[in-house]
Chain A
Amino acid sequence: MLLISCPWCGQRDESEFTCGGEAHIQRPPDPDALSDPEWADYLFMRTNPKGRHRERWCHTHGCGRWFNVERHTLTHDIISVYRMGEGPADDGDGDPS
């Protein structure tokens, strides 16, 4: 079970959180401008990396706030945690080790 640092509450057990999947997928400002495949890409397609992954989490059973987590999908190391609208501290995409 992960130990996640909520940017508002501090370290808490994973069981207090909900994972909202990949982060930084913006809703297209003009959906009508998109073809069906482009819309389907926004709607359904997600990256599934072996390695660093930026994802949205919500502290559901805590403050209720959404925030971003950068997690290594193989080791489950949490590399950084940052608030909505912010970017990760380290922009690299290499292996954390």
Chain B
Amino acid sequence: MTAQPYRLAEGGVIDRTRPLSFSFNGRRLTGFAGDTLASALLANGVHLVGRSFKYHRPRGILTAGTEEPNALVQLETGNRSTPNLKATRVELYDGLAATSVNCWPGVRFDAGALIDAVHRMVPAGFYYKTFMWPRGGWHFYEKLIRRMAGMGRAPEGPDPDRYDRTNAHCEVLVVGAGPAGLAAARAAGRSGTRIILADEQPRPGGMLLNVTDTKGEPGADWIGDTLSELRSMPNVRVLTRTTVTGYFDHNFLVAVERVTDHLGPDAPAHLPRQRLWRIRAARVVLATGALERPLVFANNDRPGVMLAAAARAYVNAFAALPGRRAVVCTNNDSAYEAALDLHRNGVEITAIADLRTDPAGPAAEAAAAAGLNILGGHAVVDTSGRRRVRSAQVAGIGADGSLEGPVRALHCDLVLMSGGWSPAVHLFSQSGGRLRYDDALGVFLPDRARQPVQCAGAVNGADGTAACVLQGQDAGSGNRPAAASAPAAPEAGSHWPIPARNRSGEFRRFVDLQNDVTAADIALAVAEGYQSVEHLKRYTTLGMGTDQGKTGNVPGIAVLAGSLGAPLPAVGTTTFRPPYDPVTFGAIAGRDVGPLADPVRETPMHAWHVEAGAVFEDVGQWKRPFYYPLAGETKRDAVARECLAVRNAVGLMDATTLGKIVVSGRGAVAFLNRIYTNAWDDLEVGRCRYGLMLGEDGMVLDDGVTARLATNRFLMTTTTGNASRVLAWLEEWLQTEWPDLDVYLTSATEQFATVALAGPKARAVLSGLTSDIDVTTEAFPFMSWRSGHVAGFPARVFRISYSGELAYEISVPAAHGLSLWAALSRQGEDHGITPFGTEAMHVLRAEKGYLMVGQETDGTVTPIDLGMQWILKKKKDYIGRRSLARSAMLDPLRKRLVGLRTEDPELVLPEGAQILPTAPSGPPETMIGHVTSSYWSGVLRRSVALALVKGGRDRETTTVHVPLDGRTARAEICDPRFYDPDGARLRG
């Protein structure tokens, strides 16, 4: 076992009896149970953990929490690999393997770091300025830039883990289990109503966990007492490792619980890896705390430069020393406590450079009493050290904010900084709450709420544990938390950024460490006119990383305010948007993956199709046989064979999936008259009619055949993919516009199995299976239906055709579908009956020039465009009629349906191909239309295509040009009815 040279002998929450082995960039190291990856790395003296996004500068660990911008790692390999996790929040488990992101070939030597040498050539807006030339060049550069930029790699295979999603309701949701949150949950819990307390840490306690000496304020005992009381309340649910990441309308919040992430491969199989909580809360208490801000000085990004409170957390909670010799730079009191805690644990505090000219008060007194060297009116103005900070340059700062006096280099391996604290107002802002800038505290605080939400504790400006507990109690009981007593304001205003001692340093004062945005970038953006904070953000990418600028945003706003010479509140903040913390796709998808992603609908005959070797096509949620290849057959062969069987003998197709809606009631005829473009009054019982449905804008919505079952009862069919949409459309009109119409709609799609029997031998096959239906053409003409028995099953038989051949559609109760199919197959054997799929159906209908909704139509096509004026009844009003009379609809240059006959009969044009009136001569070309359907026609021994072309059939017999990959095809515009244009076959 390797030693952990920076581990303290005692203290912290780590379990020294459970050493854990892990690897970082291939190096084997040891930590303890209770460590984060970051604390374990620090205990081993590892500070260089990654490279920055843009300049590939060496980076270390800045924070001890969710706000970490730098220490991003790729965890594990293969299909369990996860990119861009924060080392500060990855809990250590045995065998953990992590690597750095943003570096190639390795973190110690990274080729991309050459960019840093030419730093000033890559300013803000660089990508916009440089790579947009020449036009289209971005697509070339983007690939290179993305490879350089990195940010981790996607896993190599499907995620093998399981994720869950759960809904929860509560009277009070408390976010954050620090002193304020714990107090709020306890106060709320005593009411007996449902309470959820969610906290992102493995252990409740918040910042209190990082404090060893509470100076008489509530501490570890108080946490223990409060937790045991909460755990004794059956109405309280405490969720740890749970980040509330989104706050939406009507108090709906989303949280991610990392259930087994911290167990690694040892996770029990019955538990999900993560669980997404969808919480609806009557009331929310936000006790989200505050985040420490970095200071903006030259080279403030080197490994070993750390937030003061983070260093305190590593020493106190993890017993890991982040260094042995530290220089502190601060503008407020909180860094003194950190300095004292480090000092007590043997870290030499070389100096505390305080930007305030005369640091006074108990913090400074305690530090002075401990013998620490306090330099008032001083700051760290630069650092040195390549892969780890080696010294800090300290100088005086004058009243005007400029550098004053000599610069002293102080040898150190750690620089602590504190730029004050920003209340974590993210969720409050997401909830629609307004923020206000508090001059006394120098922070943005929650102001007016828009939803039932209260803030308590540090997020609300409370200072100190006792104040947080009081606010939490108030908020938990439903009272307005008492106002915080304002501590002395940090004199921060003039020190954003801290002056640099040379030009090199001026360009390396980092504001947003993850996106490598510097104070110079902000100044440049301002000079170039990007003065609104929202513009600045987009131009410089400030705050647009995976950390959403949790540490850098407020310093960025302060630097912007300084550049503009405007007060900070006038600059304002950018909008806080969900998620507060990145959410995995796994957690969002939950169990809705693979076969559970979407329901699959199968017809009663599905097993037969599978047995027959059908290739399936997804139509909506339905699985439909696409074609049935025989051994060795290509798709084209199989489809051609199926089509010829229908043209020359008989085929059968599973038509179960067509939507079926029963329209009944005294108003049924009137309803159909309004919904369809044609008239329905004269349709006799026993007859069917084709109908076309339009939107109110006159565009084709759906089509299908409707049969009159009885005087006031009709059976409407819809296209497969539109069944539910059409039913919803009909319901909408009935409920909202015509509630007086006596009409009832019932979906009957799944009640019946339907088989289409098509081809010249169809009658012969059907007649052999029915004794009570007269199938002669006189008794059972085209566009009529009969009821009786087929193969012994009660059946409705419709004589309708989509193939242009003599055809019947036979519907039986769904349970008999498979038997009917089998009986028809047997009965048709001698006639060469052939099952055919949707592709053959498409070819057969295209040969006839029949439209297919969704293929010839796309929501911009009218019946006139399709040459279907014959179906538009003039004497009645129907949905869409008035729109067809708009002048633009009558433009003769609208795209209209035509047939296309390619010069080369073997060539099947690609659907979607553009059509030009002349041979291409270079862009811009004149495009007059596009191919909508295109197939090989076995019966015609040539290709057939349908197209929408400007001018339509006025162009008949003219030649058009279709550019393809590397060549141009010629085709002639023709009648779209390629086969049996007079329809003799289907009436026979």
Chain A residues with Cβ below 8 Å from B250 are 1-3, 76
Which one, A1, A34, A66, contacts B882 given CB within 8 A? A34
- Contact check, A1 vs B736: say whether CB atoms are below 8 A apart: no
Knowing A2-B249, A34-B882, say if A64 contacts B731 (CB, 8 Å): yes
Q: How far is the CA of A28 from the CA of B916 in the complex (A)?
A: 42
> Is there a chain B Cβ closer than 8 Å to A43's Cβ?
yes
Q: How far is the CA of A60 from the CA of B877 in the complex (A)?
A: 28
Give residues of chain A (9-23) contacting chain B, Cβ–Cβ below 8 Å.
Answer: 13, 18, 20
> Is there a chain A Cβ closer than 8 Å to B737's Cβ?
yes
- Contact check, B248 vs A27: say whether CB atoms are below 8 A apart: no
Chain B residues with Cβ below 8 Å from A39 are 882-883, 886
> Is there a chain B Cβ closer than 8 Å to A52's Cβ?
no
> Is there a chain B Cβ closer than 8 Å to A95's Cβ?
no
Complex interface bits, A47-87 against B, C-beta within 8 A gives 1, otherwise 0: 00000000010101000111000000001100000001100
Chain B residues with Cβ below 8 Å from A32 are 877, 882, 885
Q: How far is the CA of A72 from the CA of B781 in the complex (A)?
A: 59
Q: How far is the CA of A58 from the CA of B735 in the complex (A)?
A: 10
Q: How far is the CA of A60 from the CA of B724 in the complex (A)?
A: 11
Knowing A31-B882, A65-B735, A84-B739, say if A75 contacts B450 (CB, 8 Å): yes
- Contact check, B280 vs A31: say whether CB atoms are below 8 A apart: no
Give the nearest-CB partner of B731 in chain A.
Answer: A64
Which one, A2, A31, A66, A75, contacts B877 given CB within 8 A? A31
Give residues of chain B (883-930) contacting chain A, Cβ–Cβ below 8 Å.
Answer: 883, 885-887
Q: How far is the CA of A18 from the CA of B732 in the complex (A)?
A: 11
In the complex, what's the smallest C-beta–C-beta distance from A70 to chain B, in angstroms?
15
Q: Jot down 6 A-B pairs with beta carbons below 8 A, ordered by A.
A: A2-B249, A13-B280, A39-B886, A58-B732, A64-B731, A76-B250
> Is there a chain B Cβ closer than 8 Å to A91's Cβ?
no
- Contact check, A56 vs B697: say whether CB atoms are below 8 A apart: no
Q: How far is the CA of A67 from the CA of B121 in the complex (A)?
A: 60
Q: How far is the CA of A81 from the CA of B731 in the complex (A)?
A: 20
Chain B residues with Cβ below 8 Å from A34 are 882
In the complex, what's the smallest C-beta–C-beta distance from A42 to chain B, in angstroms?
8
Chain B residues with Cβ below 8 Å from A43 are 696-697, 883
> Is there a chain A Cβ closer than 8 Å to B437's Cβ?
no
Q: How far is the CA of A65 from the CA of B252 in the complex (A)?
A: 24
> Is there a chain A Cβ closer than 8 Å to B376's Cβ?
no
- Contact check, A85 vs B739: say whether CB atoms are below 8 A apart: yes
> Is there a chain B Cβ closer than 8 Å to A36's Cβ?
yes
Which one, B248, B881, B887, contacts A31 given CB within 8 A? B881
- Contact check, A66 vs B735: say whether CB atoms are below 8 A apart: yes
Question: Which of B252, B735, B736, B886 is the most central at the interface, judged by chain A CB atoms within 10 Å of its CB?
Answer: B736
Complex interface bits, B859-887 against A, C-beta within 8 A gives 1, otherwise 0: 00000000000000000010001110111
Knowing A31-B877, A31-B881, A39-B883, say if A66 contacts B736 (CB, 8 Å): yes
Chain B residues with Cβ below 8 Å from A1 are 248-250, 252
Give residues of chain B (11-26) contacting chain A, Cβ–Cβ below 8 Å.
Answer: none
- Contact check, A3 vs B252: say whether CB atoms are below 8 A apart: yes
In the complex, what's the smallest C-beta–C-beta distance from B740 to chain A, in angstroms?
10
In the complex, what's the smallest C-beta–C-beta distance from B876 to chain A, in angstroms?
11
Supplied contacts A1-B250, A13-B280, A20-B732, 11 more A-B pairs, CB within 8 Å: A1-B248, A3-B250, A3-B280, A31-B881, A32-B885, A34-B882, A36-B886, A64-B731, A66-B731, A66-B736, A85-B739
Which one, B248, B450, B732, B881, contacts A66 given CB within 8 A? B732
- Contact check, A56 vs B736: say whether CB atoms are below 8 A apart: yes
* Interface residue tally for chain B (C-beta within 8 Å): 24
Q: How far is the CA of A40 from the CA of B882 in the complex (A)?
A: 10
Chain B residues with Cβ below 8 Å from A64 are 731
Chain A residues with Cβ below 8 Å from B697 are 43
In the complex, what's the smallest C-beta–C-beta distance from A80 to chain B, in angstroms?
15
Chain B residues with Cβ below 8 Å from A31 are 877, 881-882
Give the nearest-CB partner of B254 in chain A.
Answer: A1
Q: How far is the CA of A30 from the CA of B731 in the complex (A)?
A: 22
Chain B residues with Cβ below 8 Å from A76 are 249-250
- Contact check, A36 vs B887: say whether CB atoms are below 8 A apart: yes
In the complex, what's the smallest C-beta–C-beta distance from B427 to chain A, in angstroms?
15
Give the nearest-CB partner of A58 in chain B.
Answer: B732
Q: How far is the CA of A54 from the CA of B739 in the complex (A)?
A: 19
> Is there a chain A Cβ closer than 8 Å to B610's Cβ?
no
Give the nearest-CB partner of B736 in chain A.
Answer: A66
Q: How far is the CA of A40 from the CA of B887 in the complex (A)?
A: 12
Which one, B252, B280, B728, B883, contacts A60 given CB within 8 A? B728
Give residues of chain B (246-263) contacting chain A, Cβ–Cβ below 8 Å.
Answer: 248-252
Q: How far is the CA of A32 from the CA of B728 in the complex (A)?
A: 27
Q: How far is the CA of A18 from the CA of B885 in the complex (A)?
A: 31
In the complex, what's the smallest C-beta–C-beta distance from A50 to chain B, in angstroms?
14
> Is there a chain A Cβ closer than 8 Å to B432's Cβ?
yes
Chain B residues with Cβ below 8 Å from A26 are 737
Chain A residues with Cβ below 8 Å from B883 are 39, 43
Q: How far is the CA of A20 from the CA of B733 in the complex (A)?
A: 12
- Contact check, A27 vs B732: say whether CB atoms are below 8 A apart: no
In the complex, what's the smallest C-beta–C-beta distance from B567 to chain A, in angstroms?
27
Chain B residues with Cβ below 8 Å from A75 are 432, 450
Which one, B248, B735, B887, contacts A84 given CB within 8 A? B735
Q: Please give me the 8 A-B residue pairs with the lowest Cβ-Cβ distance, nearest first.
A: A31-B882, A3-B250, A1-B252, A66-B735, A76-B249, A66-B736, A2-B250, A1-B248
Chain A residues with Cβ below 8 Å from B252 are 1, 3, 13
Give residues of chain B (211-259) contacting chain A, Cβ–Cβ below 8 Å.
Answer: 248-252
In the complex, what's the smallest C-beta–C-beta distance from A96 to chain B, in angstroms?
12
In the complex, what's the smallest C-beta–C-beta distance from A76 to chain B, in angstroms?
4
Complex interface bits, B715-756 against A, C-beta within 8 A gives 1, otherwise 0: 000000000000010011001110100000000000000000
Chain A residues with Cβ below 8 Å from B728 are 18, 58, 60
Give the nearest-CB partner of B740 in chain A.
Answer: A85
Q: How far is the CA of A76 from the CA of B249 in the complex (A)?
A: 7
Chain B residues with Cβ below 8 Å from A2 are 249-250
Chain B residues with Cβ below 8 Å from A36 are 886-887
Knowing A3-B280, A36-B886, A43-B697, say if A27 contacts B739 (CB, 8 Å): no
Q: How far is the CA of A47 from the CA of B74 in the complex (A)?
A: 50
Question: Which of A27, A39, A64, A75 is the most central at the interface, judged by chain B CB atoms within 10 Å of its CB?
Answer: A27
Q: How far is the CA of A32 from the CA of B881 in the complex (A)?
A: 9
Give the nearest-CB partner of B674 in chain A.
Answer: A27
Q: How far is the CA of A26 from the CA of B881 in the complex (A)?
A: 16
Chain A residues with Cβ below 8 Å from B249 are 1-2, 76
Q: How far is the CA of A76 from the CA of B450 in the complex (A)?
A: 10
Chain A residues with Cβ below 8 Å from B881 are 31
Chain B residues with Cβ below 8 Å from A66 are 731-732, 735-736
Give the nearest-CB partner of A33 in chain B.
Answer: B882
Knowing A1-B250, A58-B732, say if A27 contacts B737 (CB, 8 Å): yes
Give the nearest-CB partner of B167 in chain A.
Answer: A13
Give the nearest-CB partner of B737 in chain A.
Answer: A27
Q: How far is the CA of A64 from the CA of B728 in the complex (A)?
A: 9
In the complex, what's the smallest C-beta–C-beta distance from A31 to chain B, in angstroms?
4
Q: How far is the CA of A75 from the CA of B697 in the complex (A)?
A: 32
Q: How far is the CA of A75 from the CA of B696 in the complex (A)?
A: 32
Give the nearest-CB partner of A64 in chain B.
Answer: B731
Give the nearest-CB partner of A32 in chain B.
Answer: B882
Q: How far is the CA of A18 from the CA of B725 in the complex (A)?
A: 12
Chain A residues with Cβ below 8 Å from B280 are 3, 13
In the complex, what's the smallest C-beta–C-beta distance from A88 to chain B, in angstroms?
16
In the complex, what's the smallest C-beta–C-beta distance from A97 to chain B, in angstroms?
10
Give residues of chain B (478-531) contacting chain A, Cβ–Cβ below 8 Å.
Answer: none
Chain A residues with Cβ below 8 Å from B248 are 1
Give the nearest-CB partner of A23 in chain B.
Answer: B736
Chain A residues with Cβ below 8 Å from B739 are 84-85
Chain B residues with Cβ below 8 Å from A58 are 728, 731-732
Chain A residues with Cβ below 8 Å from B882 are 31-32, 34, 39
Q: How far is the CA of A84 from the CA of B740 in the complex (A)?
A: 12
Chain A residues with Cβ below 8 Å from B886 are 36, 39-40
In the complex, what's the smallest C-beta–C-beta distance from A13 to chain B, in angstroms?
8
Question: Which of A2, A32, A65, A66 is the most central at the interface, judged by chain B CB atoms within 10 Å of its CB?
Answer: A66
